[in-house]
Amino acid sequence: MFRFLKRSSNAPDGHEEVTRSALLRILELNKEMARAEKPELLPDRVLDAAIGLVGAERGFLIVRAGTASVLAARVEGGALDALEAGPGWEVVAARNLDREHLKKALRKLSRSITTGVLESGTAFRSDDALNDETLNPKQSVADLKLRSVLCVPMRVGEEMRGCLYVDNRFAQGRFDEDSQELLEAFADQAALSLERVRLLEENTRMLRSAELRNEELKGALAERSKALESLSEGFVPSGLELRHKYPSIVGRGRAVTAMLAVVDRITEGDFPVLLCGESGTGKELVARALYENGPRSDKPFTGVNCGAIAEGLLESELFGVVKGAYTGAVRDRAGLIESSAGGVLFLDEIGEMSLALQAKLLRVLQERRLRRVGGNEEIPVDVRVISATHRDLAREVSARRFREDLYYRLKVVQVEVPPLRERREDISVLAEVFLDRLHEEQKASGRARPQLARECLERLLAHDWPGNVRELQNEITRMHALGGDLLGPELVAHLSNAPRVAGQGGVRGLVGRKLEDVEAELIRATLELTDGRRGEAAKILGIPRRTFYNRLKSLGLEA
């Protein structure tokens, strides 16, 4: 472009000065565009400069769609009526010599000319477009009655970014070769300025996104710090040590430590103990710990699940039977209570025992004597009774489903076994222990010991484990069977990460949860209360049986 400084032999006087002035104007415009404080005004500045440089009547700026959001905002904000100048292109500015915006821009320029320049990447110039044979037949040119037209491409490197279109509807030959080269030089500078706007906006957008992400990370860090503080509070202080060892009870979080502190104090005693906790929390492990660390560890430990044996059989199992007491009783047989003499009798799910059997058990606890089924002889017994239940026995007493006198006999000391959701700090430890056991059992297979992926552990920590430790153990076993050397999050995708209804402070605890999750939890809790009796659960919830069964199916609770 600097060849304009060389005056041609036939150039009119003052041409060199005009050219020099134009080049200086481009440099000034380049500086202004580089420091533009309002990027949204840049398209207008570019067009005003282009019109002034070549003496055009009107100008149009066409850029690639999405070149800069401020340019798109001009279009969306109503500055222009036209949105499309061709596939992937937008008219973002249309001005006249008086620096006024042109409405309905696409009706005032030749799309055939702009499309040709955008597709070919070469400039187009015509001294009399209306009669230009290269444009025939072009209806848009004829309709617009165009005379002088100049359209030049805008590039950043080798990439087309748009075009500058200027025209004059009244004068022929308005643009010469010098005008074309001058506008081409300016167009590339304008393209760089628009690219600068795009990069600045992209940088701003990325910075804003980073700031938002940073805020999220700060919140997550605060939550983790709070969890870490809670976790550190859960461990036994260095100055406090348990007297006994509890190798079978994994985890030493706050909830477990508080429970073991109570167990530690009552181990040496000989009085009944009532273990309360949800199913799967490990109540039998606590009972065995009381036995193994206690003074009766050299005597038998006998456990029986009162809910797993029919009532008629449970009586003979507990109290024994004499020959001829009923058909099939061909000999005297000692019951579990009698067989546990000197040791510990563990009565799991004591809340399932019938009232009649409760009365007989009460007599054993009071008088330390029993009668076998069908017998008259009273047999002295020396046994420590540890019972367990997942039910609220106080409520059962109020409902007259459990004897009050037996209740107080059993709960000389009551130990609460915490659910797994209240001891989340132990979940990772439990998972690793279960994996170690599985690996030890299958060591002969030669398989490497699987590792838990971080995302998988996070999902395990988020789940509320309604089945508690038993559910976690079964889940780890399933993952070990299905997974490879690294147990990833896809193996636990089915686990819910929504908090349970229980223990969340009423209605406030339900905020933010899906209605289906709340409904499922309510139904699950009601079924637990009714021991799986669906008809009774439907009655409690006030739902017709058929509707209740349909909800069970749709919520995946049939099992």
Q: Determine the structural domain holding residue 526 and report its residue range.
A: 502-559
pLDDT of residue 552: 86
pLDDT, residue 238, reads 41
Query: Residue 116 pLDDT > 90, yes or no?
Result: no
Least Cα distance to 151 among 193, 187, 105, 102 occurs for: 187
* Whether residue 464 is found in the same domain as residue 404: no
pLDDT, tens digit, 9 for 90 and up, residues 357-394: 999 999 999 999 999 988 889 999 999 999 999 999 99
- Give me the mean pLDDT over the 191-213 stretch: 82
Task: Please indicate, yes or no, whether residues 446 and 341 belong to a single structural domain of this protein.
Answer: no
User: In the predicted model, what is the mean pLDDT of residues 81-104?
Assistant: 69
Q: Output the pLDDT for position 498.
A: 52
Mean per-residue pLDDT for 229-234?
45
Identify the sign of the CA torsion 372, 375, 378, 379: negative
Any domain includes 71:
yes
Same domain, 187 and 77: yes
pLDDT at residue 224, rounded to an integer: 61
What are 304's strand-pairing partners? 347
Can you name the residues that pair with 58 across neighbouring β-strands?
96, 167
Select from 531, 527, 442 the least CA-distant residue to 480. 442
Kindly report the length of the chain. 559
Domain termination residue (choose one: 457, 481, 497) = 497
| Domain count of the fold of the chain | 4
- Kindly give, in sequence order, each residue whose CB lies less than 8 Å from that of residue 113, ignoring residues fewer than 6 positions away: 124, 129, 135, 141, 149, 151, 165
Three-state secondary structure along 380-432? Answer: ECCCEEEEEECCCHHHHHHCCCCCHHHHHHHCCEEEECCCHHHCHHHHHHHHH
Tell me whether residue 57 is in a domain.
Answer: yes
Q: Which of 373, 396, 418 is the last residue of a domain?
A: 418
Instruction: Report the CATH number that the domain containing residue 52 is assigned in CATH.
Output: 3.30.450.40
Residues 426 and 411 placed together within one structural domain of the fold:
no
pLDDT at position 101: 75
Same domain, 511 and 407: no
Flag whether pLDDT at 75 surpasses 80. no
pLDDT at 79 over 50: no
* pLDDT confidence bin for 143, thresholds 50/70/90: low
User: What's the average model confidence in pLDDT over 220-247?
Assistant: 61
Predicted pLDDT at 141? 65
pLDDT in tens, 320-358: 999 888 888 888 889 999 999 999 999 999 999 999 999
Give the model's pLDDT for residue 38. 67
Q: What's the CATH number where 263 sits?
A: 3.40.50.300
**3-class DSSP string for 78-126:** CCCCCCCCECCEEEEEEEECCCCECCCHHHCCCHHHHHHHHHHCCCEEE
Residue 508 belongs to a domain: yes
Q: Give the pLDDT score at 236.
A: 44
Assign 533 a pLDDT band (cuts: 50, 70, 90).
confident
Specify the CATH number for the domain of residue 445: 1.10.8.60
C-alpha radius of gyration, the chain, whole number:
43
| 105 lies in some domain | yes
User: Hey, how many other C-beta atoms are within 10 angstroms of the C-beta on 123?
Assistant: 17
- What does the pLDDT average to over 282-305? 95
Q: Is residue 414 domain-shared with residue 438, that is, in the same domain?
A: no
Which one has a higher pLDDT value, 32 or 175? 175
In a domain, 79, yes or no: yes
Rounded to the nearest 5 percent, the helix, strand and coil shares of the chain are: 50, 15, 35
Q: Are residues 479 and 361 in the same domain?
A: no
Q: Kindly report whether the peptide bond that precedes residue 137 is cis, defined as omega within 30 degrees of 0.
A: yes
pLDDT tens digits along 9-24: 444 554 455 566 666 6
Domain shared by 428 and 491, yes or no: yes
Which of 375, 391, 418 is the C-terminal boundary of a domain? 418
Tokens of 20: 């020099």
pLDDT, one tens digit per residue, over 39-58 is 677 888 888 888 888 888 88
408 and 480 part of one domain? no
**For residue 240, pLDDT beyond 70:** no
Determine the pLDDT at residue 265. Answer: 92
Residues 407, 438: one domain? no
Mean pLDDT (the chain, rounded): 81
Residues 49 and 95 in one domain: yes
With respect to residue 210, please indicate whether it lies within any of the assigned structural domains: no
- Say what the pLDDT of residue 157 is: 83
CATH of the domain at 535: 1.10.10.60
Residues 141 and 105 in one domain: yes
**Over the stretch 415-474, which tens digit does the pLDDT of each residue have?**
999 999 889 889 999 999 999 999 998 888 888 899 999 889 888 988 889 999 999 999
pLDDT band at 1, cuts 50/70/90? Answer: very low
177 within a domain of the structure (yes/no): yes
Distance of alpha carbon 60 from alpha carbon 35, whole angstroms? 23
**Mean pLDDT, to the nearest integer, of 278-289?**
94
Q: What mean pLDDT do residues 66-90 have?
A: 52
In a domain, 37, yes or no: yes
Q: Which of 182-186, 198-202, 231-235 has the lowest mean pLDDT?
A: 231-235
Alpha-carbon distance values, 226 to 221, 231, 461 (Å): 8, 9, 15
User: The tokens of 94 are what?
Assistant: 């249309």
Cβ-based neighbour number of residue 229 at 10 Å:
10
Q: Provide mean pLDDT across the span 297-304.
A: 94
Looking at the chain, the whole-number percentage of residues with pLDDT higher than 90 is 33
